[in-house]
């Protein structure tokens, strides 16, 4: 006989929502979020607790990419359930004890929130009861300069995040905003982008009629466009690449 499984539904912030506000103490001091970051992008990510092995490697990888994020007008903010003393002890251990790939003696410079009472984790839906009542899932929120959540990623505790992919998504979002285009599967800067879908019958007909003249028109609803990498970098990096 099968058992009935009862689950509880919580209200979590979703893509397109305004990022929930909070005040917090971090390893770099107090922050008022997202107000302190108006005009900048933010990658806000969580860890279940301090001194966890997979998360340690991610801290090293995030720090290695820190300047790449900054060049994209983006701040990194971490969150872990531990308190500040635990965070700082973890930082010291990472610096003194850990070597991963080419990373060694790494100083963690981005802020990490102390969320002992889980209030911020719960506010952002980082606590999933089927996984744990006391540990955050490993989430990533990409938040734009207006404080709008643009991307949400969740990872199990056993699988390390790909920081290059998070950067790729960030560049894709900024390219979308800057040029009014979408990006196809496996897109990287320099590959063709996708033009907006026609919104009227007249525009659809024009797109169909242009198919014989424009090799990028696959169908009325799918048209590619060349967008040089140099043009993207000039717009997004503003000479900082």
Q: Assign residue 227 the CATH number of its domain.
A: 3.30.1020
CA distance 126 to 7: 16
* CATH for 57: 3.40.30.10
Highest mean pLDDT: which range of 24-38, 117-131, 199-213: 24-38
Residue 76 covered by a domain: yes
Residue 204 placed within a domain = yes
**Between residues 22 and 117, the one the model is more confident about:** 22
Residues 128 and 185 in one domain: no
Residue whose tokens read 């996984």: 131
Q: In 3D, which of 133, 154, 151 has the Cα closest to residue 142?
A: 151
Query: Strand, coil or helix: what is 149?
Result: strand
Shared domain check, 47 and 148: yes
Residue 7 covered by a domain: no
Reading the block at residue 132, the tokens are 């744990």
Tokens of 45: 């990510």
- Looking at the structure, do residues 156 and 187 belong to the same domain, yes or no? no
Q: Residues near 205 by Cβ (< 8 Å), separated by ≥ 6?
A: none
pLDDT band (50, 70, 90) for residue 5: very low
* Residue 24 · residue 120 · CB < 8 Å: yes
pLDDT for the residue numbered 128: 60
Say what the pLDDT of residue 8 is: 44
> Does some domain include residue 3?
no
Mean per-residue pLDDT, 4-26: 78
Cα–Cα–Cα angle for 26, 59, 163, rounded to 5 degrees: 120
Q: Could you tell me whether strands 74-80 and 112-114 are parallel, antiparallel, or unpaired per DSSP bridges?
A: parallel
42 shares a domain with 93: yes
Same domain (yes/no): 147, 199: no
Question: Does residue 171 lie within any of the structural domains?
Answer: no
Regarding whether 195 and 152 lie in a shared domain, the answer is no
Percent of the chain with pLDDT over 90: 76
Which one has a higher pLDDT value, 239 or 21? 21
Find the mean pLDDT for residues 22-42.
Answer: 97
Whether 9 is catalytic: no
Structural domain boundaries, residue 89: 22-161
Range name among 60-69, 108-117, 230-239 with the lowest pLDDT average: 230-239
Residues 59 and 138 in one domain: yes
The pLDDT value recorded for residue 130 is 55
User: 74: part of which helix (H) or strand (E)?
Assistant: strand 74-80
| Structural domain count, the chain | 2
147-168 mean pLDDT: 94
CA distances 111 to 31, 44, 174, 224, Å, are 9, 10, 23, 40
| 9 pLDDT higher than 60 | no
Distances (CA, A) of 168 to 61, 153, 162, 235: 15, 13, 10, 16
Residue 213 and residue 156 share a domain: no
The Cα–Cα gap between 207 and 198 comes to 8
Which listed residue (19, 31, 55, 143) is catalytic?
A: 55
34, 118: one domain: yes
* Domain C-terminal end among 161, 193, 217: 161
pLDDT value of residue 241: 55
Same domain, 33 and 69: yes
Report, as an integer, the average pLDDT of 15-32. 97
Q: What is the pLDDT of residue 240?
A: 56
Same domain, 29 and 140: yes
Computed on alpha carbons and rounded to an integer, the radius of gyration of the chain in Å comes to 21
Does 170 fall in a domain?
no
């Amino acid at each position: 006989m099968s058992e009935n499984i009862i689950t509880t539904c919580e209200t979590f912030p979703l893509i397109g929502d305004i990022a929930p506000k909070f005040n917090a103490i971090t390893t770099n001091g107090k922050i008022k979020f997202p107000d302190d970051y108006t005009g900048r992008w933010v990658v806000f990510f969580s860890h279940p607790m301090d001194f966890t092995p997979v998360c340690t490697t991610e801290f090293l990888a995030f720090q290695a990419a820190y300047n790449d994020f900054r060049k994209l007008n983006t701040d990194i903010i971490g969150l872990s359930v531990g308190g500040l003393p635990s965070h700082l002890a973890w930082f010291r251990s990472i610096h003194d004890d850990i070597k991963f790939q080419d990373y060694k003696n790494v100083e963690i410079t981005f802020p990490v929130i102390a969320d002992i009472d889980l209030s911020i984790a719960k506010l952002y839906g980082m606590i999933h009861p089927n996984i744990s009542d006391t540990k955050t899932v490993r989430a990533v929120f990409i938040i734009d300069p207006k404080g709008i959540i643009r991307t949400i990623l969740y990872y199990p505790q056993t699988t390390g995040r790909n920081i290059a992919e998070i950067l790729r998504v960030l560049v894709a979002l900024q390219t979308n905003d800057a040029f009014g285009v979408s990006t196809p599967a496996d897109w990287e800067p320099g590959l063709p982008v996708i033009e907006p879908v026609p919104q009227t019958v007249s525009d659809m007909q024009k797109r169909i009629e242009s198919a014989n003249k424009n090799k990028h028109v696959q169908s009325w609803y799918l048209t590619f466009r060349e967008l040089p990498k140099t043009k993207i970098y000039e717009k997004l990096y503003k000479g900082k690449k």
